[in-house]
Structure 1
Amino acid sequence: MNVQVQIPEGYLMDSKGRLVPEASIKPIDIERDALVVRLCEDAKKKQQELRDFKALAFGDIAAFIDLSNEKYEVQIGGSKGNITLHSFNGQYKIVRQIQDSIRFDERLQAAKVLIDECIQSWSADSNDHIKVLINDAFQVDREGKISTGRVLGLRRHNIDDPKWIQAMEAISDSIKIVDSKSYVRFYERDKEGKYQPISLDFANV
């Protein structure tokens, strides 16, 4: 727990926790301190306002979904909780997304073995492009991690091979959701009819 230190009038505390009389501090240093403290304190207030707004937005969206489901018997939103809401005139749009972070368990190695057997059994004139995609999918990055997007992308290929089908099932079974993050984004239609984000990022305002 942080303990608020009472600083006597006419003193400032330096970076080492020592009380320094203002009379011995250069005026420019006092002005700099006042500026930094004021702006940072204001920034903390704005940060809390954003936290409160985020909680309000998620709460209101969830309440609207419950209202639609229960009162009007209208099912809205995707199976993973993703939803897009528009204002009546189409001027505004809100997008709520729930993004899962996934990893693969040991069954991914079984899938790789099956896929390797597929490659070996395919004739020499088989699709070399598919082979390149497979090899790229199982390449690890500098941190030793496999690209989940590339591995999952293999399931989009319609290959009629029993071992391939078994390998795709192994990939599906190996997926483990380790974390979920929720996002809400706001948009406004511009003069050309395109939706532009209403940025809440300080750098993009």
Structure 2
Amino acid sequence: MTHAAIDTPAGYMKDAHGRLVPEAMVKPIDRTRDQVVGELIALAMAQSQSLTDLKKRVFGDIEAFISMSAEEYQAKVGGAKGNVTLYSFDGQYKVQIARADNITFDERLQAAKAMIDELLAEWTKESRPEIQAIIQGAFDTDKEGNLNTGRILSLRRLDIQDPRWKQAMFAISDSVQVVGTKTYVRFYQRMGDSDKYRPILLDIASI
């Protein structure tokens, strides 16, 4: 039973504006829709809580195991940013905890962009259109106006020897700011007798 149902007197339904409507005045199709949505939301909330509990259990168990292993071998456990992969004894399953830095760029990125724009203007007749598209596309933003950090950092892999380009790449590197760390847990099952693993999907959109 939802919180809204608890607050609603018997024989009434609460509409989207918070008004009490006698059930007899609500169309059968609207009552049925409300029931279907309520039941599905209750299931989804239960699954969400189960995943939350699973995540807490996974992190707690793995941290406890790492501490136990470190004590047994009298070793110091690494920092919080280390990735961990644990395998079952038969190698059929593995649990992986991965930590990734969440990065952004400060004002020095604009300086790098200005230097790159000058170089592109100079290279217009000499550079391949594909290279220009890659460089310019790296600074495109998504619908929320966010930059794609991966595309920007990938510019450093381009083999361009111009000292001004290298200076721009240094400016990009210097502009990187770590604003937090995200921790992911993933589960895998081995595919037959191969050395490849397929993920055990917990994301409903991926199933």
2:90 is the counterpart of 1:89: yes
Distance 1:133 1:65 in 2: 47
The secondary structure found in structure 1 opposite 2:7 is: coil
The secondary structure found in structure 2 opposite 1:136 is: helix
Partner of 1:107: 108
Distance 1:82 1:64 in 2: 14
Partner of 2:52: 51
What amino acid does structure 2 have at the position aligned with 1:132? Q
Any idea what the Cα deviations from partners look like across 1:100-153, whole Å, max 9, x if unmatched?
A: 33221111233334446666898x87x748953663355423655543222211
Where do 5+ consecutive residues of structure 1 fail to align? none
- Output the TM-score relative to the length of structure 1: 0.70
Residue 44 of structure 1: how far off its partner (Å): 1.9
Distance 2:30 2:152 in 1: 56
Distance 1:120 1:113 in 2: 11
Any idea what the Cα deviations from partners look like across 1:5-50, whole Å, max 9, x if unmatched?
A: 2634xx242424426367x777777666555444432332222111
What amino acid does structure 1 have at the position aligned with 2:204? F
- Output the TM-score relative to the length of structure 2: 0.69
Q: Does the Cα contact within 8 Å between 1:188 and 1:198 map onto a contact in 2?
A: yes
Distance 1:36 1:78 in 2: 45
Q: Does the Cα contact within 8 Å between 1:96 and 1:183 map onto a contact in 2?
A: yes
Residue 57 of structure 1: how far off its partner (Å): 0.9
Q: Does the Cα contact within 8 Å between 1:68 and 1:75 map onto a contact in 2?
A: no
Count of equivalent residues: 199
2:117 is the counterpart of 1:136: no
Q: Does the Cα contact within 8 Å between 1:119 and 1:131 map onto a contact in 2?
A: no
Any idea what the Cα deviations from partners look like across 1:72-124, whole Å, max 9, x if unmatched?
A: 255788984323221121100112222333221111233334446666898x8
Q: Does the Cα contact within 8 Å between 1:101 and 1:180 map onto a contact in 2?
A: yes
Q: Does the Cα contact within 8 Å between 2:135 and 2:155 map onto a contact in 1?
A: no
The secondary structure found in structure 2 opposite 1:171 is: helix
Percent of paired sites with the same residue? 44
Do the aligned partners of residues 161 and 65 (structure 1) sit closer, same or farther apart at CA in structure 2, a change above 3 Å counting?
A: farther
2:86 is the counterpart of 1:98: no
Q: Does the Cα contact within 8 Å between 2:93 and 2:187 map onto a contact in 1?
A: yes
Which shifted more, 143-152 or 40-49?
143-152
Residue 185 of structure 1: how far off its partner (Å): 1.0
2:198 is the counterpart of 1:202: no
